[in-house]
Amino acid sequence: MPAAPARRRRLGWLGPVLVLVGAAVAVLGGWYMRTARPRVGAVIDTVRIDDRASLVVRAEQGGDRNFVELHEGDRLVWRALVPPYAGRPGAPGLAWNQTAVSVRVFRNQRAEVFALSMHDAAKLGGFRLAPGQGSAEIATRGPVTLTDHVRSYELVGGAGWHQLVAFDLTTGEGVWKQDLGPAAIDDGGLGPDIVWLVQGGRRRAFRTTDGAEVTPNPT
């Protein structure tokens, strides 16, 4: 009996409801591996989940992909191979809850999100961000992924454009998106019920539930 809800969650990630944030990626399994046949390289980023658990991103020796690992204390729980990671230290490209870990990746000049099961790193699905825009760029300033562990809020941009995209971490369904314009995004974070950004020297805020822009609280 408990298997039915889990199936619905997985189908949510693979379903056609991601129209806000892009079409589901058709083929995701060719490069995915649960075992580390490629060689694991240096640590790129570490994000703590709680006092014992953390997510670790590593380089691939001799390749351009990356490994995502879940650690509990000194124990490696699982490891997965993903396309090139788009986060960086201080601006992670990871979001998570009890169901899924989402990973921001970058390939073919496009920003994508790839999802793994928090339980065992099984593939849940993925999608491309901002499919109607031009080529994306890997951000070298400002945030990449923000999360309240209910939704993930993804910042994506390219020459002359930026978007903020929210999706549900449990189902993978797109919730909302906001076109932000050409100015660079220098900072961002989460406040009570809002996502806030500093863009072009101006502070902006958006409701987490529906993306509506609201007056930001003074800092």
Taking only the tens place, the pLDDT of each residue in 122-161 is: 999 999 999 989 899 999 999 999 999 999 999 999 999 9
Which regions of 25-99 does DSSP assign to beta strands (E)? Answer: 40-48, 53-60, 66-72, 75-82, 94-96
Q: Which amino acid is at 133?
A: Q
How far is residue 125 CA from its own chain's centroid? 12
Residue 36 CA to residue 131 CA, distance in Å, equals 31
**Predicted local confidence at residue 151, as pLDDT:** 98
Closest CA to 104 of 122, 88, 121: 88
pTM: 0.84
Helix (H) / strand (E) element for 167: namely strand 161-168
Question: Which domains are delineated in the chain?
Answer: 3-214 (2.40.128.630)
CB 137 within 8 A of CB 144: no
Q: 22-48 pLDDT, tens per residue?
A: 433 333 444 444 444 789 999 999 999
Angstrom distance (rounded) from CA 145 to CA 86: 10
Torsion of CA 11, 169, 196, 134, to 10 degrees: -40
> Distance between CA atoms of 160 and 145, rounded to whole angstroms?
20
Q: Residues 78-112: pLDDT tens digits?
A: 999 999 999 999 999 999 999 999 999 999 999 99
Nearest to 70 by CA among 126, 123, 116, 6: 116
Q: Structure tokens of 30?
A: 């060719």
List residues bridging with 66 in a β-sheet. 59, 82
